Amino acid sequence: MRPSWGWASRSAAELLGELGVDMKNALGPAIDEVTFYNADFSKSAVPNLDGPAAYVLRRESFDEALVKAARKAKADIREETTVKDFRLSEKGVTLIPVDGEPVEGRFLVLATGVHPTFIAKLGLHVPSIAEWSVLSVTHKVKSGAKIKNPRFALILGIDRAGGYAIAAVAEDEFTVGVATTAERSVAIGLLMQVCRGLAENDIVPEDIAPQAAGAQIMHGPAGAAMAMDSHVGKHALLVGDAGGFISSGSHEGIYPAMWSARIAADIIHEAADDQHPQDILQTFDSKWRIEMADYLRMPNSDIQFLLPLIFSNQTMTDRMGAAFFLGHNM
């Protein structure tokens, strides 16, 4: 279960524009206000990002806008179709849906999210380099308690291993999420503690700690792409969560998923016209690494060690903001 909304970075917005996606429907308002807090909310700092930190992304309208753009580009789209298996031959790939006729194609771009079944069939493996858990709770605010501007509160140092919490507060609802390597009961405790702290400090209008107690935990392969030997199978490429393309620091996954898919699409376009298409597909491994590795890797610093500076030195506050929301290095 993914929350119904989240955030898309500035880079994601640029890429959507390049792809001809209708931005008005794909993304919501810009999130201009960001405040960092320490774990007990006694310290805060506001980074200067020279523009919006990100945009509100409503999952349903975002997905619809992407499908619409793909249709416009003459993609043959089959919605509500579950693929139960696929076959690889010398000529290409055959997808076998649960219902309906098999579908033939020359190449397969596997973008099935974190489910490992098909990845293993390609002889590939996404390592779980860190046992990251992501859990979140979303709450509609009571009418009359409307929040003026969309904003983020980023709570740093919630554990000793780079865990953080984020509250994304929009007009009529807010989401509180935690990313941590802690085990389930500790992770739930952290989420509840953050929800309480946010309400006590008037950052969100209500304490939703009771709802947080039932939050579902998702395990994400943050940064796993970096540890993979290859994302290339026979006639096939892995993109998005399926290939571990998730930022190590911020756990941003939507932009890296789109970015890896754009690189894959360019390569397939080239491979389709080549006498040795598999050789062209192999170039995916080096191409994504050249373009994306700096964005995906952990900021090259120990955030725990830098915390006092982030709350006392504006340059470090700005750098932390750029590392988290823009994928820069510290």
Ligand X SMILES: Cc1cc2nc3c(=O)[nH]c(=O)nc-3n(C[C@H](O)[C@H](O)[C@H](O)COP(=O)(O)OP(=O)(O)OC[C@H]3O[C@@H](n4cnc5c(N)ncnc54)[C@H](O)[C@@H]3O)c2cc1C
Residues of this chain that interact with ligand X (CB under 6 A) are 2-3, 6-7, 82-83, 111-113, 115, 134, 136, 177, 218, 220, 240-242, 246, 252-255, 257
Q: Nearest CA to 113 among 150, 82, 74, 149?
A: 82
Residue type, 294: D
Beta-strand pair 108-110/133-140: unpaired
109, 110, 86, 87: which is closest to 98 by C-alpha? 86
* Residue with smaller CB distance to ligand X, 2 or 142: 2
Please identify, using beta-carbon distances, which residue of 193 and 250 lies nearer to ligand X: 250
243-260 in b/e form (b: 16+ CB < 10 A) is: bbbbbbbbbbbbbbbbbb
Q: Give min distance, CB of 57 to ligand X, in A.
A: 6
Residue entry with tokens 């509160």: 153
Amino acid at position 98, single letter: V
Report DSSP state, residue 242.
G
In the bound state with ligand X, the residue whose beta carbon lies nearer, of 264 and 281, is: 264
- Give the 3-state secondary structure of residue 60: helix
The least CB distance from residue 144 to ligand X, in Å, is: 27
Q: Shortest gap between Cβ of 220 and ligand X (angstroms)?
A: 6
Smallest separation (angstroms) from ligand X to the CB of 274:
26
Of 21 and 257, CB closest to ligand X:
257
String of b and e for 6-40 (b: at least 16 CB within 10 Å)? Answer: bbbbbbbbebbeebebbeeebbbebbeebebbbbe
Of 220 and 321, which has the nearer Cβ to ligand X? 220
Closest separation in Å from C-beta 81 to ligand X: 6
For ligand X, which is the closer residue by CB, 112 or 181? 112
Minimum CB separation from ligand X for residue 113, in Å? 3
Q: Which is nearer to ligand X, 179 or 307 (CB)?
A: 179
Compute the least distance from the CB of residue 296 to ligand X, in Å.
Answer: 12
Residue 20 CA, chain-centre distance (Å), reads 21
- How far, CA to CA in Å, does 8 sit from each of 59, 75, 227, 244, 264? 10, 24, 25, 18, 21
Q: State which residue, 136 or 317, has the beta carbon closest to ligand X.
A: 136
Return the ∠ at Cα 295 (arms to 245 and 315), rounded to 5°: 145
User: What's 224's DSSP letter?
Assistant: G
Nearest distance from residue 135's CB to ligand X, in Å? 7
Which residue's CB comes closest to ligand X?
253
